[in-house]
A and B are shown apart, each in its own frame.
Chain A
Amino acid sequence: DTGVSQDPRHKITKRGQNVTFRCDPISEHNRLYWYRQTLGQGPEFLTYFQNEAQLEKSRLLSDRFSAERPKGSFSTLEIQRTEQGDSAMYLCASSQGIPPYEQYFGPGTRLTVT
């Protein structure tokens, strides 16, 4: 097991386009989290799943954002009609569903909207 992986690592897109990111968690982890991080700031929570159920969404997750985890394994985060303000690092993390819920993070996908 090589940890949490994310694809792509970098994405440049034009404003108004849709983008989709993928996250593959550690295989035995049933919890999966998405965060967003802008330069100089700590990561901000977006949403998390336990198995295939999306249990919490931040108000940061506007209608243009949607996340899925259809089979309780990998997850996708889609941003529709991207805006320049969406430019950020999108981080995925996974954890077991038992305390202390230690989260393991992937390397992130850096999105640049031009």
Chain B
Amino acid sequence: DAKTTQPNSMESNEEEPVHLPCNHSTISGTDYIHWYRQLPSQGPEYVIHGLTSNVNNRMASLAIAEDRKSSTLILHRATLRDAAVYYCILRDGSNTGKLIFGQGTTLQVKP
């Protein structure tokens, strides 16, 4: 799986939008972009994924650059419960199944 680059940490104020960037310049045409997050003392949880088009779900939105070399996870209104480590992961379209986690971005949300 190709490598991703994320900032180590970010801060946000409660109820403001948060944009978490991810660079993946070596992405291949069959790589899906997945985001997981890990709240303190919990296992990771799935947030969202996409291939080429922007995606929305109840948790977040995923904006994918036209060249697919970067993407942004958007939390529309951060809450204190969104404080977590956010992982951007590339997974190819084959059947391997495994996730390769990087260091992720630690998001702090200030009241």
Contacts and interface: CB of A to CB of B under 8 A. Distances in A.
Contacts of A41: 103
Interface of B: 32, 34, 36, 42-46, 49, 85, 87, 91, 93, 96-104
A42 B43 contact: no
Interface string A7-29: 00000000000000000000000
Given A42-B102, A100-B32, A100-B34, A95 B42 contact: no
A93 B103 contact: no
16 contacts: A4-B43, A33-B98, A33-B99, A41-B103, A42-B102, A42-B103, A45-B99, A56-B97, A56-B98, A91-B44, A93-B43, A95-B97, A99-B93, A100-B91, A102-B49, A105-B44
A56 B96 contact: yes
Interface of A: 4, 31, 33, 35, 41-45, 48, 50, 55-56, 91, 93, 95, 99-108
A75 to B, nearest CB: 14
B43 A108 contact: yes
Return the 5 tightest CB-CB contacts between A and B, nearest first.
Answer: A42-B101, A105-B43, A45-B98, A102-B46, A43-B101
B75 to A, nearest CB: 19
A106 B98 contact: no
Given A42-B87, A56-B96, A103 B101 contact: no
A33 B97 contact: yes
Contacts of B36: 103
